[in-house]
Structure 1
Amino acid sequence: MYSDRALVIGAGFAGLLAARVLAESYGDVVLVEREVIGPGFRADLPQAHLLSAPVMGVVEALFPRLGLEWEDAGAVRADLGSDLLVRLPGGWAPREHIGVEVLAASRGAVELGIRRRLGRLANVSVVDGVVVDGLLHDRGTVTGVRGWRGDRPFTDYADLVVDASGRDGKLVSWLAEFGVRCPAPVIVNGRVAVASRLYEVNRDLGLDWKIACEVTRAPLARRGAVVSSVDGLRWLVTLVGADGDVPPVDEDGFLDFATSLRCQEVAEIIKTAAPVSEIRGASNLRSRSNRFHQVTDWPRGLLALGNSAVSLNPVRGHALTLAAVNCADLRALGREHDLAQEPPVFHRAVARAARIPWQATTSADLGWQSKKLPARTRVARWYADRLVRAVPESRRVHRASVRVAQMLDHPVRLLRPGVLVTALTRGRSDQA
């Protein structure tokens, strides 16, 4: 049985997947997007998605064979052992096939592929160029959204509104307008900043890797980078600075920053490849949990997912996975509950899904804070440092770390005897 109408705020990755899920139970699903979606939308945006196995599992369940379509369009499949060149503070990670893959593609290509699939669904539509500035509500129930489309007022009504507007969303202030107060968010800020640019790389370079990166780690390794092959001949270079070290967005400064890294492959790409986008910077990439599951008077007819609910520092790579898990939960719970009438059921699932990626992301960023951390956090960071130092010397620790980082295994795997003993015996000091 279909309900009548659902509305999703935000046509990014989370919003697009949410629309596909809702199309199974609502007769009319409308995606409302702030930007105008025209030809080549976000094609030259210097942002990429590394789609992990858990993400692809959710995507393929909703859009069968979409991964192959992305690959036909130029997305690159990479093994996180043999195809990945990783410089850690203590040395280079082992290079061997480990059977854990990601699919690397630009954000524009990923979203275009999903929008095309959604375009085949008769009950899904997109309204772009809309700035939503508030919710419509009636006696404890959200009934729609209001805002502006160009210079004209915009109003739309729905039985269910899903906020997927992202880390800059205004949902907390919208709720406050009709008396719903949210607890103060939990914020962890490692003062992380990035600068990114797209390049075209000559095939004749003969590179033996598809992704190269240098990892930041408190207290000394404040600079890092990621270079990833995306969309065929295009490569995305992202420079990363932590603890307030902001990568420059000018030509000379961008190259100088890359040259300062130990992973010189980053600088070589910049020197030899042709840029196809401007340099874009972003700073203050903090993690924020809005704790919507703790709001006792949450209105009916409203859900929040993805970065709108829990936004993770994107440099750590868990944000996309969390958004995909949220949409998988939306699908599963929606078959058993009327989530428009029972929003807390869904928000508790969002909180559960965020626990492990939140801990993984924030523990790295907490290392840059000057205040004394709780004893449990200090112990966790101490052991994490031992693991990082052991990776260059141990294939076992490397494999376990990759599988946990990709959310294929629970973090308890890192405490198994073989990994534990290796971390404690080989992870005592940084290697040259």
Structure 2
Amino acid sequence: MTAMYSDRALVIGAGFAGLLAARVLSESYGDVVLVERDQLAADTEHRSGIPQAHHPHALLARGAEVLEALFPKLGTELKAAGAIQADLGSDFMSRAPAGWAPRDPIGLSVRSMTRVTIERIIRRRVLKLPNVSLVDGVTIDGLLHDRGTVTGVQGTRQGTPFTDYADLVVDASGRNSKLVSWLAELGVHCPAPMIVNGHLAYTSRLYEVNHDLKLDWKTAYEITHAPETKRGGAVSSVDGGLWFVTLFGAGGDMAPTDEDGFLSYATTLRCQDIAEIIKTATPASKIYRVGNLRSRWNRFHKIPNWPRGLLALGDSVVSLNPVYGHGMTLAALNCAALRELLAEHDLAKEPLIFQRAVAKTAQIPWMSATTTDLGWSEKKLPLSTRFMQWYARRLFQVVPGNRHVYRAFIRVSQMVDHPVSLFRPAVLWKVLSGRRPRATEQ
């Protein structure tokens, strides 16, 4: 644990990223305050600040490792709250365009739960820390500053002016962050963000588990894949007694939000278990849809006059197309970097060290998400992007019946292994040859 300072840190946003940031800062700052726009009761359900909570949230295996380090025995607590633990091989039924993936145990597991559940449990843990407090119902309008240093925030709370001062301000307010405009008011101008629009949409609904359906999986999904496969879907067991059903649409396609249309869309998928659940299970929520899913990268690490006393992390910096499930894991990795760097640096005085670390962490998930999404683009793409798309198509062609290739892909997709592992000779040969092994070779 790092040395405790007498300084005060303020975190904008008490969502997933903000809570993790407060947990890390509590080790180095004497007073940490979370400032949140929404009103937060002890067991807040869905709230306007996190519209994505109506859709599935994936905590990748790498993210789970980071969370367990920050919150010991968190996995046990999540399990007690109903989170479903599933092996990414034997408990998953996965359909690629060329066929079904192998169902062998991989030895890598994930816990499946709703965003509401994981955030509630983490919020309770964070707010039990003696030097962390929460001020909710606050709309931040801008930053306080003095000669190149951010000194606090200003806004309103319940119609009255709100001002708070801190030695370090952390923006964790998510993909709707106003930080770029706040910086412009200080005379700090950001490079244009990188934006890739995947032209994807997803439509989701919760159902009560129908125990009469004898299913041999905990998660089933069918992926979209450019340029031909525009429809996909997924169903996951969550929170003990619920199924989360989500239907994907790409290239302008999208599932309807009425009951008949939702079911009709599901029947067009190869994974018919999804439609069967919709037909027979009892709905536990409305049908929600979000479209125009995109990825955006605010390149804060390239701003030479970035103010002292200010950090940004999570979706405020890099917000990836949520269909790929990188968001929570990337936020966790940002906070792991924050913890490590605080042991060596006063980041209030050297903030660009952290912003560069955030950028470095984002490179691989950004490449993964945007390379896939650019498959729907009609523009001429760089040769490197076209090569990666070609290789991905070859890889998915050999996934059915190819345990070794599928295992390597899953480990990369869970951010456990580096993508270079997909080019190791044992995988590369199978992908380039396009040969599916006989049963004795698998």
- TM-score scaled by structure 2? 0.94
1:355 corresponds to which residue? 363
2:7 corresponds to which residue? 4
Moved more, 239-248 or 220-229: 239-248
CA distance in 2, matches of 1:187, 1:254: 30
Residue 157 of structure 1 deviates from its aligned partner by 1.1
Q: RMSD of the alignment, in Å? A: 1.4
Q: Is the 8 A contact 2:227 2:375 kept in 1?
A: yes
Moved more, 304-313 or 270-279: 270-279
Q: Is the 8 A contact 1:241 1:247 kept in 2?
A: yes
1:167 to 146, 156, 175: 175
SS at match of 1:370: coil
Is 1:67 aligned to 2:70, yes or no? no
Residue 245 of structure 1 deviates from its aligned partner by 1.4
2:58 to 50, 53, 57: 50
Write the deviation string for residues 238-260 of structure 1: whole angstroms up to 9, x where unpaired.
11111121222222221121112
Map 1:177-326 to 2 at 5 A: 177-326=185-334
- 1:64 partner amino acid: P
2:165 to 130, 134, 157: 157
Map 1:56-95 to 2 at 5 A: 56-95=64-103
Residue 393 of structure 1 deviates from its aligned partner by 2.8
Q: Is the 8 A contact 2:231 2:248 kept in 1?
A: yes
Is 1:29 aligned to 2:32, yes or no? yes
Q: Is the 8 A contact 2:59 2:325 kept in 1?
A: no
Q: Is the 8 A contact 2:38 2:138 kept in 1?
A: yes
Q: Is the 8 A contact 2:58 2:326 kept in 1?
A: no
CA distance in 2, matches of 1:186, 1:19: 28
- 2:195 partner amino acid: I
Residue 100 of structure 1 deviates from its aligned partner by 1.1
CA distance in 2, matches of 1:75, 1:383: 35
CA distance in 1, matches of 2:229, 2:161: 49
Q: Percent identity?
A: 64
Q: Is the 8 A contact 2:203 2:288 kept in 1?
A: yes
2:351 corresponds to which residue? 343
What is the number of residues matched between the two proteins?
428
CA distance in 2, matches of 1:368, 1:383: 16
- 1:29 partner amino acid: V
Write the deviation string for residues 225-275 of structure 1: whole angstroms up to 9, x where unpaired.
121111001111111111121222222221121112111111111111111
2:335 corresponds to which residue? 327
**Unaligned stretches of 5+ in structure 2?**
48-52, 437-442
Write the deviation string for residues 80-129 of structure 1: whole angstroms up to 9, x where unpaired.
10000111111111111011111111101001111111122111111112
SS at match of 1:181: coil
Residue 388 of structure 1 deviates from its aligned partner by 0.9
Q: Is the 8 A contact 2:60 2:325 kept in 1?
A: no
Residue 154 of structure 1 deviates from its aligned partner by 1.6
CA distance in 1, matches of 2:157, 2:234: 37
2:390 corresponds to which residue? 382
Change (3 A) 1:139 1:233: same
- TM-score scaled by structure 1? 0.96
Residue 46 of structure 1 deviates from its aligned partner by 2.5
SS at match of 1:404: helix
Write the deviation string for residues 297-332 of structure 1: whole angstroms up to 9, x where unpaired.
100111000110111111111122111110000000
1:423 to 409, 426, 431: 431
Is 1:113 aligned to 2:121, yes or no? yes
Residue 427 of structure 1 deviates from its aligned partner by 6.4
Write the deviation string for residues 366-420 of structure 1: whole angstroms up to 9, x where unpaired.
1000001111111111111100111013111100000111111111111111111
2:44 corresponds to which residue? 41
- 2:12 partner amino acid: I
- 2:11 partner amino acid: V
Residue 43 of structure 1 deviates from its aligned partner by 5.7
Moved more, 127-136 or 169-178: 127-136
Change (3 A) 1:427 1:6: farther
Moved more, 362-371 or 150-159: 150-159
- 2:56 partner amino acid: A
- 2:20 partner amino acid: L
Q: Is the 8 A contact 1:387 1:427 kept in 2?
A: no
1:19 to 19, 22, 37: 22
**Unaligned stretches of 5+ in structure 1?**
none
Change (3 A) 1:427 1:301: farther
SS at match of 2:174: coil
CA distance in 2, matches of 1:184, 1:43: 32
SS at match of 2:257: coil
Write the deviation string for residues 178-214 of structure 1: whole angstroms up to 9, x where unpaired.
1100000011111111111111112332211111111
Q: Is the 8 A contact 1:85 1:93 kept in 2?
A: yes
- 1:246 partner amino acid: M
CA distance in 1, matches of 2:355, 2:66: 19
Moved more, 304-313 or 127-136: 127-136
CA distance in 1, matches of 2:211, 2:11: 41
Change (3 A) 1:369 1:93: same
CA distance in 1, matches of 2:160, 2:204: 35
Moved more, 349-358 or 37-46: 37-46
Is 1:132 aligned to 2:140, yes or no? yes
